[in-house]
Amino acid sequence: MLTIKNLSKQYNNGVHALDDINLTIGKGMFGLLGPNGAGKSSLMRTLATLQLPDSGSITFDGIDVLTQPNKIKQVLGYLPQDFGVYPRVSAYELLDYLAIMKGLTNPKVRKEQVLALLQQTNLYEHRHNYVANFSGGMKRRFGIAQSLLADPKLIMVDEPTAGLDPEERNRFYNLLSEVGKNIILILSTHIIEDIQDLCTDMAIINRGQVLKQGSPKALMAELQGQVWCKQSGNLNLKQLAAQHQILSTKSNGAQKAVHVHSQHQPDSDFTLVEPSLEDAYFKALNSEKAISSASNNQE
């Protein structure tokens, strides 16, 4: 169990990247969903002990993460958004080197684990090629291989599918879901479908705050009977927005489809639809905006 309590971090430029974060995360894949700048990477870096918060606590299986960083590093795998690789090092050499850094000092055990991970991530046949020359997808898979060294109990993967083609993305996610069965795997992303397809639990965060936590199913179920859709070639969005909370609009050729949140059918042109995770996400972000603009108006 990973428990995060009252975690806050303000950068020198005044940005509150983490603003009293509270989360309890159990085994399985946990999705951290939020727009650009929400604080996802700041949270990941803090959990990986690469930066300190101003206040709050993090515990993982009895380890106080902030005061015992060396202990957590022994059970942690981390794939940051960007990771640099040396220009002329093969996948095998680099993984072997990183394995030594992770404390795998026995050469036989290390070799077995490095080769097994190269197999698992489908990089075995490329093991003698330079990692710097790998495609984006291969680099990401290599990143997962390094994060799995020394059997971690907690893995964090920060926006891993940026720039991957659909096939590589699928392959990468199959790998993650296999890996994430028996440990805690935290996946940070702004891609809603990825969370819906993969995660058993999730949090929506924005401006450093947790807006919602629960299973994707539970977050969608909360909106049951409250999401209405209208399709038209002639939607007056301004007028609609004045009366209802618009969740999303999508163009479909000349037609536009709008989803609104309402306890009642807005008018006879609207049909009730099954809430999607996208609806739940925009509902959480919109509610937050409404609260912050109401409090700004009061000030």
Ligand X SMILES: Nc1ncnc2c1ncn2[C@@H]1O[C@H](COP(=O)(O)OP(=O)(O)OP(=O)(O)O)[C@@H](O)[C@H]1O
Can you give the binding site for ligand X, defined by CB under 6 A?
11, 13, 15, 17, 34, 36-42, 190
Q: Residue 268: what residue type?
A: S
CA 136 vs CA 6, 44, 209: distances in Å: 36, 21, 31
d(CA 35, CA 120): 31
- Residue number, 38 or 76, with CB nearest to ligand X: 38
Q: How far is the CB of 81 from ligand X (least distance, A)?
A: 6
Closest to 121 in 3D by CA, of 140, 107, 134 = 140
Instruction: Please report how close the Cβ of residue 36 comes to ligand X at its closest, in angstroms.
Output: 3
Q: What angle do CA 115, 121, 124 make, to 5 degrees?
A: 45
Give 21 or 150: the residue with its C-beta nearer to ligand X: 21
Question: Which amino acid does the sequence have at 76?
Answer: L
**Type of residue numbered 124:** Y
Closest CB 80 distance from ligand X, rounded Å: 10
CA end-to-end span of the chain: 40
Comparing CA positions, the residue from 148, 115, 119, 118 lying closest to residue 131 is 118
Pick the closer one to ligand X by CB: 41 or 248: 41
The Cα–Cα gap between 229 and 55 comes to: 43
Q: How far is the CB of 11 from ligand X (least distance, A)?
A: 3
Longest Cα separation, the chain? 71
| Shortest CB 2 distance to ligand X, Å | 18
- Of 226, 221, 175, nearest in space to 29 by CA: 175
φ, ψ at 99 (rounded to 5°)? -65, -40
Smallest distance, ligand X to C-beta of residue 15, A: 4
The three-state secondary structure class of 294 is helix
Minimum Å distance from CB 59 to ligand X? 22
Which residue, 42 or 276, is less far from ligand X as judged by CB? 42
Decide: 246 and 225 in contact? Cβ < 8 Å. Answer: no
**Nearest CB to ligand X, comparing residues 95 and 155:** 155
Question: Is the CB of 11 or the CB of 86 nearer to ligand X?
Answer: 11
By beta-carbon proximity to ligand X, the closer residue of 20 and 93 is 20
Residue number with CB closer to ligand X (34 or 77): 34
Where is 255: in which H helix or E strand?
strand 255-261
Distant-in-sequence, close-in-space partners of 9: CB < 8 Å, separation ≥ 6: 16, 17, 18, 42, 46, 51, 53, 54, 208
Shortest approach of ligand X to residue 62 CB, angstroms? 27
